[in-house]
Chain A
Amino acid sequence: MAISRRTFLKASVAGGVVVSALGFDLKPAYAAVRQLKIRNAREYKTVCPYCAVGCGTIAYVHGSGGLNTTKTIIHVEGDPDNPINGGTLCPKGASQMGLAISPRLRKSPMYRGAGASEWREVDWDFAMDWFARKFKASRDATFVEQDSQGRTVNRCNGIAWVGSATVANEDAYLITKTMRAMGLTYIDHQARI
């Protein structure tokens, strides 16, 4: 006779405690195998956030994507179609969901005043207003239109921008475009370190 967890399960649903033809209680054996947790999850093809191997990954997400649901990421594993990694991932890649949902991710802008010993939570409007005003004030205070030899240099000496090797190409491009237009020349990222 064929015995499997599936037949056990059916028997269980039909009749509760079942004694089989073999004469022993079958119930104990069918503690059900855990159902595949990514069953019915939506798949999104993405790329690992860590090193520059560029491993393809699949994020498994619960939630229909409908207006009334928030998508919940439940698992990430390697994308087997990606020719670079062929579905494999190192320990960092294999645990990247832990980064995506880390309890230490922050949700609010914070401000620390001169001499203060603690942060103060602020809203985005305050934050961006402060940021823009500081930026403009330092730009105005340190901008050099012509150097000591009278050559047009149009540079902002007093502000530096660093990062990032972790943003997408498109954001990287927008950073360069915006900051060069502002006249910044102290611009660098993780490439050197």
Chain B
Amino acid sequence: MPDTLAIKRISATPSALIPLESLRSGGPVYSKLVDISKCIGCKGCEVACKEWNDLKVEQTANFGSMQSHKDLSSNTWLLMRFNEVEVGDDLQWLIKKDACLHCEEPGCLFACPAPGAIVQYQNGIVDFNQDQCIGCQNCVSGCPFDIPRFDKSTKTVAKCNMCIDRVEVGLEPACVKTCPTNAIQWGIKEDMLALAEKKVETMKRRGYEHAALYNPGGVGGTHMMYVVPHGDRLEDYSLPAHPVASPAPLHGLSVLRRVGSYLLGFGVVSALAHFLAVGPESPEDEAWEPKP
């Protein structure tokens, strides 16, 4: 039996640089595949995510959109974003499921100075452990997709964990299970890549000549991939064209921070490390490192 929780990388340890090897198979490497051409923006995934993960209900207010929240939050890990785009007299209502993409090379994990606060599994899932999180929010700036969100009350950062409790026992994530139109599918990544190829062909047959798979190489590929009807208009879906995350090269202040992280990881006395990692200010003070 595979070890469905076999770990690949642990933040602020050498494994962040050199992935761990497993003796036992880590089981299937999974991916979600989101077919935007089949998404009806029903928010089934958004609601199922909150229901399964027991995330708190937030007070929302309509701000002139079908969209429920203006942004992701530590209690809303998945948000349907709505965008009306008109090219000539061709009106497109672009609806995108916004949530963690679970990068193969996770920028959040590379940036994290707290050992074990971010873990990547062999199956592709990148998970945050709030009880190890020190609230520094380096992961927020490390993420090329602007996904993790800081929670002021617990002073930790949170995001989609791909329903790892379900995946561990062989169930698909809640958003996948619930999706009424099969716009979100789940399986081993190779199968999803093959399916994506078929979907791109279907879209091209339907007249979307720029249809494309979104599985960006700059982050080593992702474990939530999109098939996008308008591959030439990624910005309309708020998808960065060239996201990058890499453990190296290290430069600038981040060098010191990362060195600090590893020192911390290796058990060196933490005061210096903490200073290096999070700087002299308190982590809640957002002024010390504005988000890009």
A interface vs B, CB < 8 Å? Answer: 1-6, 19, 22-31, 33-37, 39, 75, 77-78, 85, 87-91, 93-95, 97-98
Contact present for A23 and B267 (CB under 8 Å): yes
Alpha-carbon distance A95/B55, docked complex (angstroms): 12
Partner of B14, one of A22, A35, A87, A91: A22
Given contacts A3-B20, A31-B129, A31-B130, contact A90 B180 (CB under 8 A): yes
> Contacts of B169 on A, CB cut-off 8 Å?
36, 39
Given contacts A23-B266, A36-B168, contact A28 B115 (CB under 8 A): yes
> Contacts of B267 on A, CB cut-off 8 Å?
19, 23-25
Q: Does B146 belong to the interface (CB within 8 Å)?
A: no
Contact present for A25 and B178 (CB under 8 Å): no
> Contacts of A91 on B, CB cut-off 8 Å?
42-44, 46-48
> Contacts of B7 on A, CB cut-off 8 Å?
3-5, 29
Contact present for A31 and B174 (CB under 8 Å): no
Alpha-carbon distance A61/B20, docked complex (angstroms): 39
B interface vs A, CB < 8 Å? Answer: 3, 5-7, 10, 13-14, 20-24, 42-44, 46-48, 51-52, 54, 114-117, 119, 127, 129-132, 164-166, 168-169, 171, 174, 177-182, 265-267
Alpha-carbon distance A39/B114, docked complex (angstroms): 31
Contact present for A89 and B44 (CB under 8 Å): yes
Given contacts A29-B115, A94-B178, contact A1 B23 (CB under 8 A): yes
Partner of A28, one of B23, B48, B117: B117
Contact present for A29 and B177 (CB under 8 Å): no
> Contacts of A2 on B, CB cut-off 8 Å?
3, 6, 22-24
Known: A33-B164, A91-B43, A93-B178. 5 other contacts (CB 8 A): A6-B5, A22-B14, A29-B115, A36-B171, A97-B51
Could you give 7 example pairs across A and B, Cβ below 8 Å?
A4-B3, A4-B22, A33-B5, A34-B165, A77-B174, A90-B180, A94-B48
Distance of B182 from chain A, by nearest CB (Å): 8
> Contacts of B115 on A, CB cut-off 8 Å?
24-25, 28-29
Total A-B pairs in contact (CB under 8 Å)? 119
> Contacts of A78 on B, CB cut-off 8 Å?
177-178
Alpha-carbon distance A163/B119, docked complex (angstroms): 54
> Contacts of B179 on A, CB cut-off 8 Å?
88
> Contacts of A25 on B, CB cut-off 8 Å?
115, 267
Contact present for A89 and B178 (CB under 8 Å): yes
Distance of A33 from chain B, by nearest CB (Å): 5
> Contacts of A4 on B, CB cut-off 8 Å?
3, 5-7, 22
Interface centre among B20, B116, B127, B168 (most CB of A within 10 A): B116
Alpha-carbon distance A3/B44, docked complex (angstroms): 35
Alpha-carbon distance A29/B51, docked complex (angstroms): 26
Alpha-carbon distance A85/B267, docked complex (angstroms): 52
Distance of A104 from chain B, by nearest CB (Å): 14
Partner of A3, one of B22, B114, B165: B22
Distance of A31 from chain B, by nearest CB (Å): 4
Contact present for B5 and A88 (CB under 8 Å): no
Interface centre among A2, A85, A93, A97 (most CB of B within 10 A): A2
